[in-house]
Amino acid sequence: MIKYAIRKLILAIPLVLGVVTLIFFLVELSPGSVADKYFTPDTSPEVREMIVAKYRLDDPAYVRYLFMMRNLVFLDFGVSMATEQPVFDLVVQALPNTIILSLVTLLVAFPTGVVLGIIQGVTHGSPTDTSISVSSLAFYSMPGFWFALMLQLFVSYQFGGWLLEQVAAGNIPQFFEMFALPTSGMYNVVEYDYMGPWDQFKDRVSHLILPGCAMGVASAAGTARYMRSSLLEVIRQDYIRTARAKGLRERVVILKHALRNALLPIVTLVGLSLPYLFSGGVLTEMVFAWPGMGRLIITAIYTQDTPLIIACFFIFALLVVIGNLIADLSYALVDPRVKFD
Amino acid sequence: MTAIVKKERFIAPPVTKLGLVFPGIGHLAVGEWVNGLGLMALVGTVSWAIIAGLPRISDIWFSGPGGGIALHSVVATFSLVAVTAAIWRAAYRRAFPRVMDDEEWNSNRQIFLRTLTRHRTGMMGFYGVCVLLTFTILAPLIAPFDPLAIDVGPQLEPPGWGYLLGTDDYGRDVFSRLLFGARISMSIGFVSVAIAATMGTSIGATAAFFGGSVDRALMWFTDLLLALPRLVLLLAIVGMIQLKGAKSIFLIVAILGFTGWMGVARIVRSQVLSLKQQEFIQAAQALGFSSQRIVFKHLIPNAMAPVIVYCSLAIGATMIAEAGLSFLGLGVPPPIATWGVMVNDGRGPLRAAPWIATMPGLAIVAAVMSFNLFGDGLRDALDPKLR
């Protein structure tokens, strides 16, 4: 299996390099000179020369391309043009935040989607099925950033505000204060350092809930749709009829015989949806001011920060490759019929 | 061949004649409530346009730039007639169904139409799309105010009778902006999906038909573009071009088209690969037809069904992508209103005036959901296994 994984990774190298090449040439070919943004009209010639030498601005594009490629191999992303910080540090700060958000979303959304899909598959054609179908289609058709805004508005501002008011007025116990979820950010910037470890954890979790919901609802809806059709397909098979004919209880038929086979395509979906979770997170992170890769990439594009842009896209391409690999491997792990070759 | 009349074509014709007076009633009378309510919604839209638009039709006709005739309103007025005619034709067809012989009854086209019209959720999506399109086309007649005019009312007025969906912080009417924004959002969806479908079909068909290194090169490029999630790819291209000053709606349409063709290419490729093995293509090759003729006349028409389904689903996805770009301020340049731009506008006064961001979002959900439902219906109707 390790051999298989390594071979897959080696095959993916041209893909990642291709993506980086594409982005490099997009940056190069876009109108205006890369050098322009470093200089104001009153930059002194000496400083100008130093900057040109530092970023190799007077070299032809292919030389800079080759240098960039060499540096990427050693994970040296250069220095950010906008903030003068090493790009590697910026990425290392942002990546874990995004991964926390995506993984929590994944861990909650997929089981939810699977359970909803099972309920739909079992009650096929009933009002329950229809209502879950319609609502999951609605969430599936919803722009994530708009849902995020609506969560901020209705859950955080209005419901949360109402809760805090009631607690302050003494109508409901202090305990309910924790259900007033914060609007944005990753932790309480003012008080975080003065909290005990347990309170810090609670603070983190409460900041995670709304962004997680905003990202997770769409992916749970998508999973439910897949799960439903997959389960319906399996339920029609002969071995399910056999299991029922043996007199097994319906619960055993569904949970032991049908579910195991219906889950196979869903497992692949987990790996494949990883990059989409990250990209969906771009807008959600913007709305919730979550300091992750999404915000980094957008700031990079706004400030035309070439090294940071290239590093971000490199990471995204890597994530896609890893996601595909996880999909392949997990499929082979859960389905004994698939052999590594 | 003797004409065999199918009884189903004549379900209660006397009842459905009611539909000639008011389209939809006839369908409701025979229990087809989706078709009935859909038609009635269309009639409602058209009547709204007539009641709201006709009294001021001379005003809007002659209020173009420089006092000339305003093209939008001319188009809208003619569309009003066309839409009305189409609705009543549908009602007439239901009241006086055409008699078909067996051959026509069993033709692919008729089977497809029958399956589609019986697909309940698919038809819901279809009527949703129709109503939205009607609103879009008739926007100049329905919209109570100029969408771009500021201070048509007080600022941040909540929804009410004067301003149906309230006003925004510049005193612009949200409902009018929503209607005109629909034009931009929907046309961006349609046009860029058309571009994507054309590109994807030609690339996929070329790859599959010629095979070998052509196939490998084209598919490698397709995989390359698929390696980045679409939004990220869009951000890269749009960001690079726009922040250097080139801002235009046509650019957005083109870029959305150029980043959406990969799915189509894959579908067409796999279709053509399997079609290539079939006898009729081999026969065409044996007859000495040119590659061009085989590809355009035999391969592509037979590969289109899944592409159509994909496109109807892609329109929704494209509208969401456009909304996302506009939300980041990288989409259509102001002052043009699209739904994404409007959600972004509503971010600032979110607490004071929640309707500004809420309403366009609901519109996006309704539109995308209609397209998705219709796409699902199309898939079921076009798939021979599910009929």
Written as six digits, the tokens of B321 are 């992508």
pLDDT at B386 over 60: no
Q: Looking at the complex, report in whole angstroms how far the Cα of residue A2 sits from the nearest Cα belonging to chain B.
A: 23
CB atoms near residue B12 (< 10 Å): 12
Residue of B nearest to A158 (CA): B351
Q: Which of A25-34, A262-271, B138-147, B281-290 has the highest mean pLDDT?
A: B281-290
Q: How long a stretch of residues is chain B?
A: 387
- Which residues, other chains included, contact A293 with Cβ-Cβ below 8 Å and sequence gap of 6+? A91, A94, A95, A97, A98, A278, A281, A282, A285, A312, A315, A316
Residue of A nearest to B245 (CA): A31
Residue A164 included in any domain: no
Q: What does the H/E/C string look like for A67-110?
A: HHHHHHHCCCCCECCCCCCEHHHHHHHHHHHHHHHHHHHHHHHH
Residue A61 included in any domain: no
- Which residues, other chains included, contact B4 with Cβ-Cβ below 8 Å and sequence gap of 6+? B101, B102, B105
Q: Under an 8 A CB cutoff, do A18 and B239 touch?
A: no
pLDDT at B383 over 50: yes
What one-character DSSP code corresponds to residue B299?
I
Residue A44 included in any domain: no
Q: Looking at the complex, report in whole angstroms how far the Cα of residue A211 sits from the nearest Cα belonging to chain B.
A: 16
The pLDDT value given to residue A340: 62
Q: Under an 8 A CB cutoff, do A153 and B240 touch?
A: no
What are the CA-CA distances from residue B317 to residues A72, A236, A270, B188, B365 (Å)? 33, 32, 20, 11, 11
Residue A186 included in any domain: yes
AA letter at A335 = D
Q: Under an 8 A CB cutoff, do A141 and B245 touch?
A: no
Q: Under an 8 A CB cutoff, do A149 and B224 touch?
A: no
- At B7, is the pLDDT very low, low, confident or very high (cuts 50, 70, 90)? very low
Q: Looking at the complex, report in whole angstroms how far the Cα of residue B255 sits from the nearest Cα belonging to chain A.
A: 13
Residue A167 included in any domain: no
Q: Under an 8 A CB cutoff, do A145 and B243 touch?
A: no
Q: Under an 8 A CB cutoff, do A19 and B228 touch?
A: yes
pLDDT at B191 over 90: yes
| Total of domains in chain A | 1
User: Could you tell me which of B169, B166, B4, B183 has the C-alpha nearest to residue B79?
Assistant: B183
In whole angstroms, what is the distance from residue A329 CA to residue A326 CA? Answer: 5
For A189, the domain range is 2-31+77-146+181-334
Per-residue DSSP letters for B160-185? Answer: SSSSTT-B-TTS-BHHHHHHHHHHHH
Q: Looking at the complex, report in whole angstroms how far the Cα of residue A135 sits from the nearest Cα belonging to chain B.
A: 10
AA letter at B283 = A
Written as six digits, the tokens of A168 are 């302050």
Residue A165 included in any domain: no
Residue A57 included in any domain: no
Q: Which of A301, A302, A305 to mutate to test the interface with B (most CBs of B within 10 A)?
A: A301
Q: How long a stretch of residues is chain A?
A: 341
Per-residue DSSP letters for A165-209? Answer: HHHHHTSS-GGGGGGS--SSSSS-TTTGGGS-HHHHHHHHHHHHH
**Average pLDDT over chain A, rounded to whole?**
83
In whole angstroms, what is the distance from residue A91 CA to residue A312 CA? Answer: 8
- At B2, is the pLDDT very low, low, confident or very high (cuts 50, 70, 90)? very low
- At A165, is the pLDDT very low, low, confident or very high (cuts 50, 70, 90)? confident
Chain B residues inside the 8 Å CB shell of A320: 227-229
Average pLDDT over residues B182-203: 91
Helix, strand, coil tally for chain B in percent (to 5): 75, 0, 25
Q: pLDDT tens-digit profile of B112-124?
A: 888 888 888 888 9
Q: Where in chain B is the domain with CATH 1.10.3720.10?
A: 174-386
What one-character DSSP code corresponds to residue A249?
-
User: Could you tell me which of A308, A105, A325, A136 has the C-alpha nearest to residue A226?
Assistant: A136
Q: Looking at the complex, report in whole angstroms how far the Cα of residue B293 sits from the nearest Cα belonging to chain A.
A: 34
AA letter at B76 = A
Residue A281 included in any domain: yes
pTM over 0.90: no
In whole angstroms, what is the distance from residue A3 CA to residue A318 CA? Answer: 19
Residues from B contacting A (CB-CB < 8 Å) are: 220, 223-225, 227-232, 235-237, 239-241, 243-246, 316, 320, 323-324, 327-328, 330, 340, 343, 346-347, 350-351, 354, 357-358, 361, 364-365, 368-369, 372-373
Q: Under an 8 A CB cutoff, do A320 and B323 touch?
A: no
The pLDDT value given to residue A169: 85
In whole angstroms, what is the distance from residue A24 CA to residue A194 CA? Answer: 45
CATH class for the region spanning B174-386: mainly alpha
Per-residue DSSP letters for B263-278? Answer: HHHHHHHHHHHHHHTS
The pLDDT value given to residue A180: 78
Residue B62 contacts residue B51 (beta carbons within 8 Å): no
Q: Under an 8 A CB cutoff, do A143 and B235 touch?
A: no
Q: Under an 8 A CB cutoff, do B364 and A143 touch?
A: yes
Q: pLDDT tens-digit profile of A229-269?
A: 888 888 888 888 898 898 888 888 888 888 888 888 888 78
Q: Under an 8 A CB cutoff, do B328 and A286 touch?
A: yes
Instruction: Count chain A–chain B contacts defined by CB atoms under 8 A.
Output: 127
* Facing residue for B224 by CB, picked from A22, A32, A275: A22
pLDDT at B68 over 70: no
| 3-class SS of residue B167 | strand
